[in-house]
Amino acid sequence: MRLLFCGDVVGRSGREAVTGNVPVLRQQLGIDFVVANGENAAGGFGITLDLARELLQGGVDVITTGNHVWDQRQAIGQIAAEPRLLRPLNFPPGTPGRGAAVFPAPGGRKVFVVNLMGRLFMDALDDPFQAVERELRAQRMGPGGVDAIVVDIHAEATSEKMAVGHFCDGRVSLVVGSHSHVPTADGHILPGGTAYQTDAGMCADYDSVIGMQKGPAVQRFVRKMPGEKPTAAEGPGTLCAVYVETDDRTGLAKRIAPVRAGGKLSPAMP
């Protein structure tokens, strides 16, 4: 199976980078299943049901989120209406939505997607390791199970992301980090056969400060005073993603490669 994970989608530029490139990539690379982190799709802060459906109609199969999932308050009441929109699994019981689910893929195959959020320098959620362990005990890859498992670990600390990768090694197809908005160069296959990359980067205008307009963002650092509300940058967006090929028998990874298309960054294709 061929999987694509698109990094954090920021604002209109990010949405256009995804909807403009994903259909082409699906055809060129034979992509079977696409996951995108959409928690910054609404002007850099949260996501709405309409914007989620825009991404889904543009070629994405499942949307993960993170610490900004509730920034658009209507999402609290809307998330249950779209089963392909996930929120972090390790929110406390009773939180709207769900954090993991099995989704159909071409050829009658199934992909299990898990959305986790880290706790270092983030909100104090439940333990992500215990949360993913419970899910992996219930779902397994290979004959009689799902065909692939993708884990999005939305976290600040690279160490915590790496720890999740090793914790899941040999049991999932891909562990990929989101949240930092900068693509890392450490994509590789762990000893147990799980593909790993610390951060997929962002789908956004890179002439910015992590997707937000650079002028006000710079001044907030220089003056150390609150200024105007950050606004998503609106120049041409770059799609940053991770491409993974899996073994059809085991679901484990055979290949991982970066994908970059459009905008400011140098292009990269498998």
Tell me the CATH number at 83: 3.60.21.10
Instruction: Give the domain range for residue 55.
Output: 2-261
What's the predicted TM-score (pTM) here?
0.95
Please name every residue paired with 113 in a beta bridge, in sequence order, or none if there are none.
101, 150
Please provide the average confidence, as pLDDT, over all residues in the chain.
96
Tell me the C-alpha distance between 60 and 99, whole Å.
17
- pLDDT tens profile 151-209: 999 999 999 999 999 999 999 999 999 999 999 999 999 999 999 999 999 999 999 99
Q: Which of 5-14, 41-50, 220-229 has the lowest mean pLDDT?
A: 220-229
pLDDT at 216: 87
- pLDDT tens profile 21-75: 999 999 999 999 999 999 999 999 999 999 999 999 999 999 999 999 999 999 9
Residue at 10 is within a domain? yes
Mean pLDDT over 235-258 rounds to: 97
Spatial strand order of the sheet with 2-6 comes to 62-64, 33-37, 2-6, 239-246, 253-261
Number of domains, the chain? 1
Residue at 160 is within a domain? yes
Q: Please check the confidence at residue 228 and state whether its pLDDT lies above 80.
A: no
Residue at 206 is within a domain? yes
Percent of the chain with pLDDT over 90: 90
Distance of CA 185 to the CA centre of its chain: 16
Tell me the C-alpha distance between 250 and 270, whole Å.
22
Number of Cβ atoms within 10 Å of the Cβ of 256: 22
The active-site residue, picked from 68, 154, 179, 181, is 68
Supply 68's token pair.
């900004």
Residue at 153 is within a domain? yes
Residue at 266 is within a domain? no
Burial 6-24 (b: 16+ CB within 10 A, else e): bbbbbbbbbbbbbbbbbee
Contact 203, 239 (CB under 8 A): yes
Tell me the C-alpha distance between 184 and 41, whole Å.
21
Residue at 119 is within a domain? yes
68 is catalytic: yes
Q: What share of the chain is helix, strand, coil (3-state, %, to 5)?
A: 25, 30, 45
- pLDDT tens profile 93-144: 999 999 999 999 999 999 999 999 999 999 889 999 999 999 999 998 988 8
In this structure, what DSSP letter does residue 116 have?
E
For helices 11-29 and 49-57, angle between their N-to-C axes, nearest 10 degrees: 30
Residue at 120 is within a domain? yes
